[in-house]
Amino acid sequence: MPHPRNADTPQDAGPRVWDDMTVEVALSVMAGARVGHLLVCDADGRRTGLITLARLTAVRDGAGYTDRIRLRDIGGVLGGGSGHGTEPPALALAR
């Protein structure tokens, strides 16, 4: 018999998006869903991070911003980063 799934915590609730989504599209999803964060998932649908509205806005308003920056390019979102902080994001631009 399968075990019942534990209820999502507030940080686990919210729209799930792919890590290849651009910053502008992610901001649009947030506005449409009226949420302050998105759960970032990899191509297999596994959660890999969380990104906040404040973080996305800081990236968009940063000097290194281009419309080609994707969620996976934002430091602190993937690879165990929390994505919760309001510190200026470090862009890890893929080459």
pLDDT at 36: 95
Question: Are the C-beta atoms of residues 9 and 34 closer than 8 Å to each other?
Answer: no
Average pLDDT over residues 8-36: 88
Q: Binning pLDDT at 50, 70 and 90, where does residue 85 land?
A: very low
What's residue 79's pLDDT?
A: 43
Residue 7: the pLDDT is: 44
Q: Which DSSP letter does residue 91 get? A: B
E strand or H helix that includes residue 37 = strand 37-41
Angle at 38 between CA 35 and CA 42, to 5 degrees: 160
